[in-house]
Amino acid sequence: MERVMGKTLASMRCCRAALPHLRASDGGRVIIIGGASTRNVGVDALPSGLGNASAANFSKQFSYEVAADGVTVNIVHPSFTKSDRYPERRAARAKQRGISLEEAEASFAAQFPIGRIVEPDDIAPMVLFLASRYASAITGQAIAIDGGSTPYVAY
């Protein structure tokens, strides 16, 4: 259960601790990092899906609570990302399927219409934008950075 709720509880605790500072600021920003498993159900994604879905629900609710104070709250949902955990996941896939590391990488990349795995550098610009003054009217939103891999229209 801790794995399921860890991200949400951490977000809630950080927001509670920051709330006086956010309210006192001139346009505070909260950006929660969720995950594509919020929207895409996977065979082995139940714990992360539940945790990310609860984080998305919290971010929407919290956005209502602080909007009048000029504070925005949004959640960014990256998909599978080429992070520091990627080499381990690639090796596990190669072993599980009996294929090379290159074939495992290609199988991951094939899941993305952009033809490659999402990188942390793909996510950072959106987070920076949401933190900027240019995003002062964007609040309560869930934004996917998924290389086009979400198989439906989400609005």
Residue ranges of domains in the chain: 2-81+118-145
Tell me which CATH code domain 2-81+118-145 carries: 3.40.50.720
Which secondary-structure segment (H or E) carries 3? Answer: helix 2-24
- Residue-wise pLDDT for 91-116, tens only, equals 999 999 999 999 999 999 998 999 99
Report the pLDDT value the prediction gives residue 26, as an integer from 0 to 100: 81
Query: pTM score, two decimals?
Result: 0.86
- Mapped onto helix, strand or coil, the DSSP state of residue 57 is helix
Task: Give the phi and the psi of residue 112 in degrees, each rounded to 5.
Answer: -115, 120
Largest CA distance in the chain: 56
**What's the distance, CA 81 to chain centroid?**
10
Identify the DSSP state of 91: H
Flag residues of the chain having pLDDT under 50.
none
Q: Which pLDDT does position 149 carry in this prediction? A: 84
